[in-house]
A and B are shown apart, each in its own frame.
Chain A
Amino acid sequence: MTTIPLDATPLPVAIGAGGPVEYIDELLKRPALVARAIEADSELSARTRTYVKVLIACTATFGAALGFYRGGAQILFAAVKLPLVTLVTLAVVAPLLHLLNRALERPANMAREVSTLVAALARGALVLAAETPLIWAAHALGAEYHRLILLTVFSCGIAGAVSFWFLWGVLSATRRSRWAVALVVLTTVGIVGAQASWLFRPYLVRPRATGVVFMHPLEGSFSEALGDSLDSARGRYRSSTANCCSMRSGESP
């Protein structure tokens, strides 16, 4: 049997060092290098542009996978809404990170901070894109609505943790007040991100919903909905849901 050494036919390498492909490759495999490049202001605008595109593409992919639960226009709606959620969160948190750095006598540069946050969110978005097969597998197994909601929250939680780990690496370049900045940013991202995702719901669309809407009117909150989903996944339904289901079962036995 003939064996071919791995270096005989090297994998194709992106032409032109420092191009978008290399930026993405670095973000995926060598995040510490990306953190150092951002610290050194190395090709900041080109990197940021690339990572914004990655962020939009990956979150749109994950959103579209969620939208397939209902199908039709919901695929497009979810693919548009999930990038919007991340961009709204980015827009809200970037000034906060900058002013926290200024207030706590840490190195502050708005362009660098925006680039850091975009890179962190893009790394999380890459994780989301990698988790998309989980959603497809759940669709294939006919997972029930509430279980799919919990799987989505779990997937986004993992992506968020990876994002935060990258951000922590960049914040740790200056040790002064890094815990305070990280705690405030993490809390704010958590609250704002949850609210933005709640605002732009639905992504999956409840099975009993008759039509598909781009956004619901203001009602309830993310934490209430998560609690309801946990209860429903355990078979404990709220009274309104129970009434609905018992009526439906009565109507069509």
Chain B
Amino acid sequence: MSRPKVLADPRLFWALGGPLLLGALPGLRFGLGPTLRLGPSFVAALLATAAVMGPALYLIWGLTGARGSLGQVGNAFMDALAAAGRVHVGFAPAVLMMSATVAYRDHAILFALAGYGGGLLLGASRLWRALRPGASGRHAAAVLVPWLAAAILMGGRLVIQFVMPVVTGGKVG
């Protein structure tokens, strides 16, 4: 039986592999359990945000009269996630080095989160460039800036929700 087409897409491996690696590295300072939980936590936060915000982007983009089919917007979104994943993998040596050498292990997670956020912002810049030809500059900004702000709020909240219990060993409400 052949694999579904989406699973054979190398962009999927970059998009999921980057956050998985970046999340696991600072976990090394906390032990095996947190290492195994932090990587999937980063991926889960990304997937949940993408699942909600991806379709919303297509709907807002289409409703406001911008050009671009579902396939084109989906492709641009996947390219942006893959680009973010590449940047996450690029940050991995720096996060590993910082995680291994900072005096306080809580600081290790901050570097991973900075790399995670930085990668996603660069992915968003790639998304902007891909969608920009489908509308005027103001139109694209009027759609993408609020969308990005909402995505940051939702994603940030999910990251805190998933990561903090692993780091603190407790619950975050």
Q: Nearest Cβ distance between residue B128 and chain A, in whole angstroms?
A: 11
Q: Nearest Cβ distance between residue B13 and chain A, in whole angstroms?
A: 14
Q: Nearest Cβ distance between residue B9 and chain A, in whole angstroms?
A: 16
A residues contacting the other copy or chain, number (CB 8 A): 27
- Report the bound CA distance from A103 to B89 in whole Å: 11
Q: Nearest Cβ distance between residue B141 and chain A, in whole angstroms?
A: 17
Give chain B residues whose Cβ lies under 8 Å from the Cβ of A199.
Answer: 101
B101:A218 contact, CB within 8 angstroms = yes
- Report the bound CA distance from A103 to B97 in whole Å: 22
Chain B positions 92-108 with a Cβ under 8 Å from a chain A Cβ? 92-94, 97-98, 101-103, 107
Q: Indicate if B91 sits at the interface (CB-CB under 8 A).
A: yes
Chain B positions 101-151 with a Cβ under 8 Å from a chain A Cβ? 101-103, 107, 111, 118, 122-123, 125-126, 129
Chain A positions 96-116 with a Cβ under 8 Å from a chain B Cβ? 96-100, 102-105
Chain B positions 72-105 with a Cβ under 8 Å from a chain A Cβ? 82-84, 86-87, 89-94, 97-98, 101-103
Task: Output the nearest chain A residue to B87 by Cβ-Cβ distance.
Answer: A103
Give chain B residues whose Cβ lies under 8 Å from the Cβ of A191.
Answer: 94, 98, 111
B102:A218 contact, CB within 8 angstroms = yes
- Report the bound CA distance from A196 to B94 in whole Å: 11
B94:A184 contact, CB within 8 angstroms = no
Q: Within the complex, which residue of B83, B101, B102, B122 is in contact with A184, where a contact is CB–CB below 8 Å? A: B122
A180:B90 contact, CB within 8 angstroms = no
B122:A92 contact, CB within 8 angstroms = no
- Report the bound CA distance from A99 to B86 in whole Å: 6
Q: Within the complex, which residue of A103, A177, A195 is in contact with B123, where a contact is CB–CB below 8 Å? A: A103
- Report the bound CA distance from A96 to B122 in whole Å: 13
- Report the bound CA distance from A93 to B98 in whole Å: 13
- Report the bound CA distance from A91 to B82 in whole Å: 23
Give chain B residues whose Cβ lies under 8 Å from the Cβ of A221.
Answer: 102-103, 107
- Report the bound CA distance from A239 to B71 in whole Å: 64
Give chain A residues whose Cβ lies under 8 Å from the Cβ of B122.
Answer: 100, 103-104, 180, 184
Q: A103-B83, A104-B83 are in contact. Are A192 and B98 (CB under 8 A)?
A: yes
Give chain A residues whose Cβ lies under 8 Å from the Cβ of B123.
Answer: 103
Task: Output the nearest chain A residue to B91 by Cβ-Cβ distance.
Answer: A96
Give chain B residues whose Cβ lies under 8 Å from the Cβ of A143.
Answer: none
A220:B103 contact, CB within 8 angstroms = yes
Give chain A residues whose Cβ lies under 8 Å from the Cβ of B84.
Answer: 103
A92:B102 contact, CB within 8 angstroms = no
B94:A188 contact, CB within 8 angstroms = yes
With A92-B94, A92-B97, A199-B101 known, 7 other A-B pairs at CB within 8 A are: A99-B86, A103-B86, A177-B125, A184-B87, A188-B91, A195-B102, A218-B103
Closest 3 CB pairs of A and B: A99-B90, A103-B83, A96-B90
Q: Mind listing 19 A-B residue pairs with CB under 8 Å? A: A92-B94, A93-B94, A95-B90, A96-B87, A96-B91, A96-B94, A97-B90, A100-B86, A103-B84, A103-B90, A105-B126, A184-B87, A184-B118, A188-B91, A192-B98, A195-B102, A196-B97, A218-B101, A218-B103
